Structure 1
Amino acid sequence: MTHGYAIHPRKEAHKEGIAALTGLATSVVSDVLGRTIGAVGILPVNKSPVSVCGNAVTVCVRSGDNLMIHKALQILRPGDVLVVDGGGDVSRALFGEIMMTVAKSRGAIGAVFDAAIRDVDAFERHQFPCWARGVNMRGPYKDGPGSINTSISIGGMTVNPGDIILGDSDGIIALPPELALEGALLGKEKELTERNTIQSILDDQYDYAWIDISLKQKGVL
């Protein structure tokens, strides 16, 4: 390892956890796990609805530089999600159609950037889910340094290599594999509760009493 550079092996996917979480909404899973997980300010660039659930391959780079992202593309495997900590800088795009094509050819199912990307129409055209902090046509530097498969932070959320990345049109969350099954179980229970609540509203049977109870407890009513 040279100073400023680190390349570690990818973590194998937690297949059971990924299968259990697939299809669940990020908002629901975040809610049932304390509403403390989820990246802020990183949203899908695709125009049509998107969803992803896969294994995190993490990259940390210097602002505006994508050399180590190119290296990370070489270790991607089917089912991986590329997650890049670009320091929140959006002055230069770190990823575009060519790199997306490489990632997709290696079986990656999505990409997440706390940074800018470009060629957004290509992500829609190829139906490749991508979340980013921004869009910028300006190209990146290719000098380094950076690290691959180390702990990173995107949008205020820690992501470790091998975490399960769950993403949809609302955003991105990362779950350690040991929380996956609990999150999936609680998430499915909450989704059932929410469906029942929506049906009660449609049937004009929704109980609003909790609102006044809460306000009375706060001394408002």
Structure 2
Amino acid sequence: MSGVIVTGPPKADPKDVDALAGFGVATVGEAMGRTGLLGPGIRPIQQGVRVAGTAVTVLGRPGDNLMIHAAVEQCGEGDFLVVTTTSPCTDGLFGELFAMALHRRGVRGLVIDAGVRDTQELRETGFPVWSRAVCAQGTVKATGGSVNVPVVIDGQVIHAGDVILADDDGVAVVPRRRARATAEAAAAREAKEAATRAAFLDGQLGLDRYGLRETLARLGVTYRSYEDYAAEEVGS
């Protein structure tokens, strides 16, 4: 497998990245029309961390982490390493030593559609990771691949320089050119949710706030007292 290492790709504006970091993955996914989510299989190895950065992408071979080594050189302040393989892999491609190297370069985290190991050490050093698997199985460094090319995880295309946002709920990708508009849409959605939260605390029901009683009626859902319902069941 030959490959290419693309240097100096355009990146989302750091101000837009930082703005997106203020919102949860769920909020951003809704703000983008329920798109951009990498799916439930990519999970955090830690809890209570939310971080955003610009994607440096890696496409390698299963069981081989050579291209992660190549990608470290392309990473810088504010980046988020995104790794996938040409076919499914759960081997531990990434561990503590990689995290130390990336932390030194100002990288904010890792998303990997494969396995990681040294998870206790990763948590202790505070380097956040979202992975497909946790596995002690090691790897080789023998096969070419690519860095900063488009990659696909759970049907979502990720380009170098796109925004990666990750928290306890999972991971979302925001296309570079949509970062500012998405941050604005997320802010509007959060303001709406704040108003709804206040209404719920005041006792309002979702049935009324969202107009769902009309929806129930349209779908033919009816209300019956227990006595009437029990009588109907006996009669049937």
TM over 0.5: same fold?
yes
Pairing of 1:16-165 with structure 2 (within 5 A): 16-40=15-39, 41-46=41-46, 48-87=47-86, 89-165=88-164
Partner of 1:9: 7
Q: Alpha-carbon deviation of 1:220? A: 3.8
Q: Alpha-carbon deviation of 1:90? A: 4.1
1:213 aligns with 2:214: yes
Q: Alpha-carbon deviation of 1:194? A: 1.1
The CA deviation string for residues 24-68 of structure 1, in whole angstroms up to 9 with x for no partner, is: 11101110211021101101111x311111110000011121001
Q: RMSD between aligned alpha carbons?
A: 1.6
Unpaired segments ≥5 residues, structure 2: 223-236
Q: Distance in 2 between matches of 1:24 and 1:83?
A: 20
TM-score relative to the length of structure 2: 0.87
Does the aligned pair in 2 maintain the 1:88–1:133 contact within 8 Å? no
Does the aligned pair in 2 maintain the 1:25–1:168 contact within 8 Å? yes
Unpaired segments ≥5 residues, structure 1: none
Distance 1:207 1:168, change over 3 A: closer
Q: Alpha-carbon deviation of 1:87? A: 4.8
Partner of 2:225: none
More helix per residue: 2
Which range moves more in the overlay, 7-16 or 109-118? 7-16
TM-score relative to the length of structure 1: 0.92
Partner of 2:167: 168
Query: Identity of counterpart residues, as a percentage?
Result: 34
Distance 1:87 1:204, change over 3 A: farther
Number of residue pairs matched by the alignment: 218
Does the aligned pair in 2 maintain the 1:39–1:156 contact within 8 Å? yes
